[in-house]
Copies of this chain bind each other. A is one copy, B any other.
Amino acid sequence: MILTLKKGTSPETIDTILNLITEQGAKAKHVNLMDKDLICIDAGKTVDLKAVTGRRDVLSIHHVGSAYKLVSRKYQPDSSIIKVGNVEIGGSGLTIISGPCAVESRDQIMQIAELVKANGAQILRGGVFKPRTSPYAFQGMGEEGLMLLKEAGETYGMPVVTEVLDEIGFDSVVDHVDIIQIGARNMQNFALLKKAGNCLKPILLKRGPSATIEEFLLAAEYIMANGNPNVILCERGIKTYEPMTRNTLDISCVPLIKHLSHLPILVDPSHASGDRKLIKSLSLAAVAAGADGVMIEAHNNPDQALSDGPQSILPERLMEIKEAMNRIAEVLAV
C-alpha cells in the first residue's frame, strides 16, 4: 500500500504514522517523491490501517499488492514520460539511443555522433568507464572520454548517456551527462541504486542477465523509493543455454512490463544478440511488442572497435531501421 500524506506533514507526524504501521510488524518507508510525502507499506503482513486511514493527514491510499509499489501501474495508471532535453521517452514517439560501445578518441566520437544524428538517433551513447569481465581488457577512456562525449553531444545537439560503475563515479559523471546508465551487472548494486535515487537525473536501468522481471522492477523501485521518478527501463537479454546469441532477448518482458508498470521500457538488441545481422529484426520486434524505443550500438568502423565490434552496426543503417520502426509504431497506434 502507498499512503499519500497532506502537503507539509511534519517529520514528527510522519514518524508517528510509520510507528503505527511498524509496531504491527509490517515494513514501512517514508518516501519523498517530487515534493510528495508518501508512505510505502510492504505487503508481507496484514496490517490494520484503521488507525491511519482515519487521519486528516492521510489524503489517499493506493492498494498495490505487488512487492514493487511506486513503479506499479496500480499506483500510477498513466505511462510516465521522461523528458531529456527535447526528447520525450515513453511518450507517443519512439526513442533511438545510439553511439559506440566505448568512446575511443575525439575523432571517433565526433564522427559517430554526426552520423547517428544524421540517421535519426535522438540520444548519443558512449561508454567511458567500461565494466569489463577481464582486468586486462580496455577499461574505457575515463574522464577524458566523458568530456569528449559531452562535447560531441553539445556539438550535434544530442543529450548523452553513459554508464557509471560505482557511487564515486556517479558524482563525477552526473553533471556532465543527461542520462546515467546503470548497467546489467550493477542492476542489484543497491548502493548505486540509492545514489541514483538521490538525484533527479534520468536513470537508464538495464535488466541484469539473470534478473527476473520482478527483481528488475524492484531495482527500479529502489531508485523511486529514494526520490527519483525518472527511471527508464531497458531489456538487454538474459542468460540461457542458447549459444548462437550472446544473450536471449526476453521479448515477453516488454508487454509484461507495460502491463505492470508505468515506466518506459527500451530494448537493447545489440547486447541481447551480440550479432549485427539481427539488430533490425529485433528492433522491429521490440517496437511491435510495445517498447518505447531502442538502444543500438553503432560504430563507424565496427571491425576495429575496441569493444563489442561484432554487434555494432554502421550508423548509416540506423535510418532504415528507424523508418521501419516508425511505420510499425503507426500500426500499433491504429
Query: What is A's interface to B at a CB cutoff of 8 Å?
Result: 27-29, 40-42, 67-69, 131-138, 165-169, 185-186, 188-192, 208-210, 212-215, 218, 221-222, 225-226, 238-245, 248-256, 259, 272-273, 277-278, 281-282, 284-290, 324, 327-328, 331-332, 334
**Closest-CB distance, A132 to chain B (whole angstroms):** 7
Residues in B with CB closer than 8 Å to A240 are: 238, 240-241, 248, 250
Q: Decide: A134 near B67, CB < 8 A? Known: A210-B239, A255-B278, A289-B281.
A: yes
List 24 A-B residue pairs with CB atoms under 8 Å apart, sorted by A's residue number.
Answer: A27-B137, A28-B136, A67-B136, A132-B190, A133-B218, A185-B189, A210-B239, A213-B244, A238-B240, A238-B241, A243-B243, A244-B256, A251-B251, A254-B281, A255-B278, A255-B282, A259-B277, A281-B288, A281-B289, A284-B289, A285-B285, A285-B286, A288-B288, A331-B331
Further 12 A-B residue pairs, CB within 8 A, beyond A131-B190, A165-B191, A240-B241: A27-B136, A29-B135, A133-B218, A166-B166, A186-B188, A212-B242, A248-B250, A281-B289, A284-B331, A288-B288, A324-B331, A327-B331
* Complex A-B, nearest 8 residue pairs according to Cβ-Cβ distance, in ascending order: A210-B210, A166-B191, A255-B281, A288-B288, A284-B288, A42-B136, A185-B188, A285-B289
Q: Which B-chain residue is minimally distant from A258 (CB atoms)?
A: B281
Cβ of A212 and Cβ of B243 under 8 Å apart?
yes
Residues in B with CB closer than 8 Å to A238 are: 210, 240-242, 248
Q: Which B-chain residue is minimally distant from A168 (CB atoms)?
A: B167
Residues in B with CB closer than 8 Å to A218 are: 133-135
Cβ of B241 and Cβ of A256 under 8 Å apart?
no
**Closest-CB distance, A71 to chain B (whole angstroms):** 11
Residues in B with CB closer than 8 Å to A135 are: 29, 218, 221-222, 225-226
Cβ of A213 and Cβ of B190 under 8 Å apart?
no
Residues in B with CB closer than 8 Å to A241 are: 210, 212, 238-241
A289 to B288, CA, bound (A): 9
Cβ of A252 and Cβ of B168 under 8 Å apart?
no
A42 to B232, CA, bound (A): 36
Residues in B with CB closer than 8 Å to A239 are: 210, 239, 241
Residues in B with CB closer than 8 Å to A245 are: 252, 256
A252 to B277, CA, bound (A): 11
Number of copies: 4
CB < 8 Å: which of B166, B221, B286, B332 contacts A192?
B166
A241 to B288, CA, bound (A): 24
Residues in B with CB closer than 8 Å to A133 are: 67, 188, 215, 218
Q: Which B-chain residue is minimally distant from A191 (CB atoms)?
A: B166
Residues in B with CB closer than 8 Å to A213 are: 242, 244
Q: Which B-chain residue is minimally distant from A242 (CB atoms)?
A: B212
Residues in B with CB closer than 8 Å to A285 are: 251, 254, 285-286, 288-289
Residues in B with CB closer than 8 Å to A27 are: 136-138
A138 to B26, CA, bound (A): 10
**Closest-CB distance, A287 to chain B (whole angstroms):** 7
Cβ of A166 and Cβ of B165 under 8 Å apart?
no
